[in-house]
Amino acid sequence: MKALIAVLPGDGIGPEVVAEASRCLEAIAAKFGHAFELRQAAVGAAAMDAHGDPLPPATLALARQSDAVLFGAIGDPRYSDPSLKVRPEQAILSLRRELGLFANLRPAVSHPATFHASPLRPELLAGVDLLVVRELTGGIYFGEKRLEGDRASDLCEYSVAEIERIVRLAAGVARGRRGRLTSVDKANVLETSRLWRRTTTRLLAEEFPDVNLEHAYIDATTMHVLRRPADFDVIVTENMFGDILTDEVAMLPGSLGLCPSASVGEGRRGLYEPIHGSAPDIAGRGIANPYGTILSAALLLRHSLELAAEASALERAVATAIEGGALTADLVRPGQPGVTTREAGDAVLRNLS
Ligand code: IPM
Ligand code: MG
């Protein structure tokens, strides 16, 4: 098949990890006989430096025109002051909103080869395979923001339609997995959460009677995902709770560097990015972990291009590379040397052929 893939490397380690994922996509195209055009554009602090805008119109236009977006990371210490009017992070928020990417899928799967890298005990990690589905274009992130004198407010708003579409997506995914859905809210305190809970209960009864639904509070869930992570299948939650919960859940596979994500909407177009940030402390040294970005490219193949066999081949190649000991610095045991970003990419490519 032919596909146009927008490649937005961004800042810090973004370009290094995206380079490896791009090599993998090219190798998949060659192996399976596809024609992927990978077209790069500037985003984040890199785009602020070059064009004075974290999301230049040409980058947004390319994203809209493409079948899928492969994204690296954004953020730069030079622009880290949260009170700045223009900040690199605005680019990712605008991209999500402009492309209508209301669902963020963040899987967390544990590998025995990296149990030692997780802060959790190995016996808790066996069999961990969960997926957080985070609502991505609503809630407190996008509600009205006010600052008046010494008071500030951020409005958290959800409509029934916004809740239905994200829960429908999550329940559909749960149906194709182990059939369990945990909806996470704070219904003992928040009106938006009460609406979320009512809507979820009704929708599951009407459309997904075969999916096993449980409701849980966000505070208790942050504890349960550490005490019994293997019990969870699909977790669905609103934007802010999902932001917090997914960083916590990323500790299960052992490193943020291993975690991919997919942001999707109504159509097939999606944005795929590792969940880690730009890691300026290690940028430019060639030691960043590219696996989260390569696994994001696999999600791109599966969701946006509907190439399931190619996606699985890439995921298997990553698993084999990790099991074969191609561990970057964030994954090795203390005192051991790690492989470089390029060597990790090479290990995946070797296992592809
Ligand atoms: C994430 C990030 C973003 C978010 C930031 C960079 C705006 O933390 O993708 O989880 O809060 O959504
Ligand atoms: Mg986050």
Q: What is the chain's mean pLDDT, rounded? A: 97
Q: 30, 14, 4, 17: which is closest to 313 by C-alpha? A: 30
- Position 87 scores a pLDDT of 93
- Position 82 scores a pLDDT of 87
pLDDT in tens, 11-58: 999 999 999 999 999 999 999 999 999 999 999 999 999 999 999 999
Give me the mean pLDDT over the 121-125 stretch.
95
Backbone Cα Rg of the chain: 20
Per-residue pLDDT band at 259 (split at 50, 70, 90): very high
Residue 89 CB–ligand 1 contact under 6 Å:
yes
The ligand 1 atom nearest the CA atom of 261: 9
- Position 137 scores a pLDDT of 98
Residue 249 CB–ligand 1 contact under 6 Å:
no
What string of DSSP letters covers 45-59? HHHHHHHS-SS-HHH
Distance, in Å, from the CA atom of 274 to the CA atom of 300, rounded to the nearest integer, reads 12
Distance, in Å, from the CA atom of 171 to the CA atom of 184, rounded to the nearest integer, reads 13
Catalytic residue of the set 158, 185, 186, 291: 186
- Measure 352 CA to ligand 1 centroid, in angstroms: 31
- Position 262 scores a pLDDT of 98
The residue type of 172 is G
pLDDT in tens, 42-55: 999 999 999 999 99
All residues with CB under 5 Å from ion ligand 2: 243
Helices (H), 208-278: 218-227, 239-249
- Measure 265 CA to ligand 1 centroid, in angstroms: 17
Known catalytic residue at 31: no
Ligand 1, atom 5, lies closest to the CA of 89
Per-residue pLDDT band at 152 (split at 50, 70, 90): very high
Known catalytic residue at 243: yes
| Position 122 pLDDT exceeds 80 | yes
Residue 256 CB–ligand 1 contact under 6 Å:
no
Catalytic residue of the set 79, 141, 272, 291: 141
CA angle 113, 116, 120 (to 5 degrees): 120
pLDDT in tens, 228-253: 999 999 999 999 999 999 999 999 99
Ligand 1, atom 4, lies closest to the CA of 243
Percent of the chain with pLDDT over 90: 96
| Position 293 pLDDT exceeds 90 | yes
Same fold, 1-100+266-353 and 103-260: yes
| Position 353 pLDDT exceeds 90 | no
Instruction: Identify which has the larger pLDDT, 353 or 192.
Output: 192
Distance, in Å, from the CA atom of 252 to the CA atom of 229, rounded to the nearest integer, reads 8
- Measure 347 CA to ligand 2 centroid, in angstroms: 29
pLDDT in tens, 61-98: 999 999 999 999 999 999 989 889 999 999 999 999 99
Domain ranges of the chain: 1-100+266-353, 103-260
Give me the mean pLDDT over the 289-305 stretch.
98
Residue 248 CB–ligand 1 contact under 6 Å:
no
Distance, in Å, from the CA atom of 338 to the CA atom of 323, rounded to the nearest integer, reads 14
Q: Which of 77-81, 100-104, 200-204 has the lowest mean pLDDT?
A: 77-81
Known catalytic residue at 81: no
Residue 243 CB–ligand 1 contact under 6 Å:
yes
Percentages of the chain per state (helix, strand, coil), in multiples of 5: 45, 20, 35
Provide φ and ψ at 99, rounded to 5°.
-90, 0
Residue with tokens 């149990």: 115
Between helix 308-323 and helix 291-303 the angle, nearest 10°, is 160
Per-residue pLDDT band at 254 (split at 50, 70, 90): confident
- Give bridge partners of residue 189 from the DSSP assignment: none
| Position 99 pLDDT exceeds 90 | yes
pTM: 0.95
Distance, in Å, from the CA atom of 108 to the CA atom of 4, rounded to the nearest integer, reads 28
Give 103-260's CATH code, choosing from 3.50.50.60, 3.40.50.2000, 3.40.50.1000, 3.40.718.10.
3.40.718.10
Structure tokens of 55?
A: 């999301």
Topology, domain 1-100+266-353: Isopropylmalate Dehydrogenase (3.40.718)
